């Protein structure tokens, strides 16, 4: 089966089209995830947490179904995993330009570099879970780092 962006699950999997951009669909997809997260900054933190959890929990189905329909593993245009991963990093980042830029950059570094244990978990089955889990861990790594950096900078009066 060919990717059908008009199919709502495929449309979500490709990040509303952000994963269809070339080159570097993962980076474009991550940027799309950042844009999609913008309304969340106006929500209470508990609601933002629910948003992120729902994105993570629906991801294995969205990504797995699209990968199955395409007859492949982690197709480059599938970026819902990038969306959910960067949402974790953004949730923990200070809501400032520098906080979000750091969250974006650190997430991309961890997503591309895949240090241990990220490179190990991406091979987990079923395929939808494997597609999602490495990006969720990368988002957690990036989020914890940017949170710590933000706390340190705030204590140093350099972050605002």
What's the burial of 140, exposed, middle or buried (CB within 10 Å: 0-12/13-18/19+)? middle
What's the burial of 11, exposed, middle or buried (CB within 10 Å: 0-12/13-18/19+)? middle
- pTM equals 0.89
pLDDT in tens, 81-110: 999 999 999 999 999 999 999 999 999 999
User: Under a CB-based contact definition with an 8 Å cutoff, are residues 64 and 129 in contact?
Assistant: yes
H or E segment at 54?
helix 45-70
pLDDT in tens, 6-58: 688 999 999 999 999 999 999 999 999 999 999 999 999 999 999 999 999 99
- Tell me the domain boundaries of the chain: 8-155
Chain centroid offset of residue 109 CA:
12
């Amino acid at each position: 089966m060919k990717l059908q962006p008009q199919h709502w699950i495929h449309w979500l999997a490709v990040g509303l089209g952000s994963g269809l951009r070339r080159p570097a669909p993962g980076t474009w997809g991550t940027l799309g995830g950042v844009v999609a997260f913008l309304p969340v900054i106006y929500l209470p933190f508990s609601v933002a947490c629910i948003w992120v959890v729902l994105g993570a929990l629906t991801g294995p189905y969205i990504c797995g179904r699209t990968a199955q329909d395409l007859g492949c593993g982690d197709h480059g245009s599938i970026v819902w995993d990038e969306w959910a991963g960067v949402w974790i990093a953004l949730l923990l980042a200070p809501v400032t330009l520098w906080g979000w830029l750091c969250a974006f950059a650190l997430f991309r570094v961890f997503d591309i570099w895949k240090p241990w244990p990220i490179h190990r978990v991406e091979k987990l089955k079923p395929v939808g879970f494997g597609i999602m889990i490495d990006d969720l861990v990368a988002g957690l790594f990036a989020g914890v780092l940017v949170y710590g950096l933000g706390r340190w900078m705030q204590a140093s009066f350099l972050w605002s």
